[in-house]
Amino acid sequence: MTMTGSRIWDALVVGAGPAGARAAQQLSAAGASTLLVEKHSLPRYKACGGGVPARTLRLLDDLEISAVSEGFVDTIDVSRFGRHQFRKASKRPLAWMVMRDRFDQFLTDLAAEAGASVEHSTPVQSVVETDACYEIETPTGVVRARHILAADGAIGPTARWLGIASAPTRSAAYEVEVAAPRDALDHWHQAANVDIGYRPWGYGWVFPKAGKLSVGVVTAPSQGRSIRKQTDRYLSRLGLGEAEVIKMQGHPIRYRRSVGEPVAKGRALLLGDAAGLADEFTAEGIAYAVHSANLAADAVLNGDEPAALYTRAINHRIQPELDAARTISRLYYWCVVTWPWLALTASKHINYLWRAFFRVMRGESTYAEELSRVLLIPSPRGRGIG
């Protein structure tokens, strides 16, 4: 079946990350003719810690991911520039560890199994809206589709072509994968390091994978020029300065900060990072990418006005989480930079805060609910992960 010519697809999905692959699966499973296009050859590398918060699996209908999981983390090890270390453990896994090339390919295969056509090494080059459909230019010809779902990540161009001014960049992140020695792999077995103290905000992380460690730093974009040096220093503090580097790459992260930042227009919807759906406390975005894909597929399948339906869903179901995460982030990182000892002591001794964080990671609560509890304001019922 050719993807170009006079055929009009029900939906064209741009980008085979978690958002695009999941949306293509949901649409195809419901009978919509769906084309998923990815500019890179698949499977593709993505700069990412590859920590999939446990709550994500619920959003994937309790998908069994053991075939592509590299283990899990149930312990958080906190340090400040490598010192004053302490650990907190959850009774159940907090996050599954994946390599993004394999995880995203797994989700893309599910989309193909559900009936989606998948074209890789196919960059979308421009988009034009006509009365009947969108005309999307690719190297192999023009594709026509009634709906376009832009899941092309934090630096994807589709939002711009559609005239949707999506969220600006608000953090820089740098990731290095190292072939760590056996004692380091044993030390970080099922444990993630979170190294705090970075100015004006941010943290370093170690995530354990099979036979390697993902190490990185996320911080403000103003620190973008020095982020590689900061990561090198962090690696040295971890005793990994001489470890073999398998891969390293930087990438920006964008955060949607208000319901006023558009996520859709007409029959065009922005998903995941393309819409700035990452949270400012942990900088994670995989769960929000999947959640937005579910909401986008529902909006395309169920409404004459998908943009309005989708915008309402994002504003009601996801934005309260991003807002709460931003509030928590500001309070926490301000405290870490201004009163580091107070922040460390509080982090070490107030177990209530850890239990709250663990509940959010596992999907038993939301940032919005936990923040309301602490601030003694009414809980935003019916909001958050659903």
Ligand X SMILES: Cc1cc2nc3c(=O)[nH]c(=O)nc-3n(C[C@H](O)[C@H](O)[C@H](O)COP(=O)(O)OP(=O)(O)OC[C@H]3O[C@@H](n4cnc5c(N)ncnc54)[C@H](O)[C@@H]3O)c2cc1C
**x/- string (CB under 6 A) for ligand X, residues 138-177?**
-------------xxx--xx---------------x-x--
Query: 203 forms bridges with which residues in the sheet?
Result: 218
- Identity of the residue, 170 or 267, whose beta carbon is nearer to ligand X in the bound complex: 170
* Binders of ligand X in range 222-241 (CB under 6 A): none
Residue 171: CB minimum distance to ligand X, A: 8
Residue 292: CB minimum distance to ligand X, A: 8
Question: Using the rule CB under 6 A, is 286 a contact of ligand X?
Answer: yes
- Identity of the residue, 32 or 286, whose beta carbon is nearer to ligand X in the bound complex: 286
Task: Tell me the C-alpha distance between 41 and 43, whole Å.
Answer: 6
Q: Which two tokens stand for residue 324?
A: 């709460």
Question: Using the rule CB under 6 A, is 120 a contact of ligand X?
Answer: no
* Binders of ligand X in range 191-220 (CB under 6 A): 216
In three-state form (DSSP H/G/I as H, E/B as E, the rest C), the secondary structure along the chain is CCCCCCCEEEEEEECCCHHHHHHHHHHHHCCCCEEEECCCCCCCCCCCCCEEECHHHHHCCCCCCCCCEEEEECEEEEEECCEEEEEEECCCCCEEEECHHHHHHHHHHHHHHCCCEEECCCCCCEEEECCCCEEEEECCEEEEEEEEEECCCCCCCHHHHHCCCCCCEEEEEEEEEEECCHHHHHHCCCEEEEEECCCCCEEEEEEEECCEEEEEEEECHHHHHHHHHHHHHHHHHCCCCCCEEEEEEEEEEECCCCCCCCCEECCEEECHHHHCCCCCCCCCCHHHHHHHHHHHHHHHHHCCCHHHHHHHHHHHHHHHHHHHHHHHHHHHHHHHHHCHHHHHHHHHHCHHHHHHHHHHHHCCCCHHHHHHHHHCCCCCCCCCCC
Total residues contacting ligand X by CB under 6 A comes to 39
Amino acid at 259: V
- Identity of the residue, 251 or 326, whose beta carbon is nearer to ligand X in the bound complex: 251
Question: Using the rule CB under 6 A, is 58 a contact of ligand X?
Answer: no
Closest residue to ligand X, Cβ-based? 285
Task: Tell me the C-alpha distance between 73 and 90, whole Å.
Answer: 9
Binding residue for ligand X, selected from 43, 51, 204, 306, defined by CB under 6 A: 51
Binding residue for ligand X, selected from 74, 101, 195, 273, defined by CB under 6 A: 273
Question: Using the rule CB under 6 A, is 15 a contact of ligand X?
Answer: yes
Residue 349: CB minimum distance to ligand X, A: 27
Residue 252: CB minimum distance to ligand X, A: 7
Question: Using the rule CB under 6 A, is 321 a contact of ligand X?
Answer: no
Q: Which two tokens stand for residue 52?
A: 């999939």
Residue 379: CB minimum distance to ligand X, A: 24
Binding residue for ligand X, selected from 3, 12, 19, 295, defined by CB under 6 A: 19
The stretch among 46-54, 305-313, 330-338, 341-349 that binds ligand X (CB under 6 A) is: 46-54
Task: Tell me the C-alpha distance between 294 and 25, whole Å.
Answer: 10
**x/- string (CB under 6 A) for ligand X, residues 22-41?**
---------------xxxx-
- Identity of the residue, 221 or 340, whose beta carbon is nearer to ligand X in the bound complex: 221
Residue 283: CB minimum distance to ligand X, A: 6
Question: Using the rule CB under 6 A, is 251 a contact of ligand X?
Answer: yes
Contact 291, 317 (CB under 8 A): yes
Residue 235: CB minimum distance to ligand X, A: 14
Question: Using the rule CB under 6 A, is 93 a contact of ligand X?
Answer: no
Residue 140: CB minimum distance to ligand X, A: 12
Name the residues that contact ligand X, by CB under 6 A: 14-20, 37-40, 44, 46-51, 123-124, 151-153, 156-157, 173, 175, 216, 251, 253, 271-274, 278, 284-286, 289
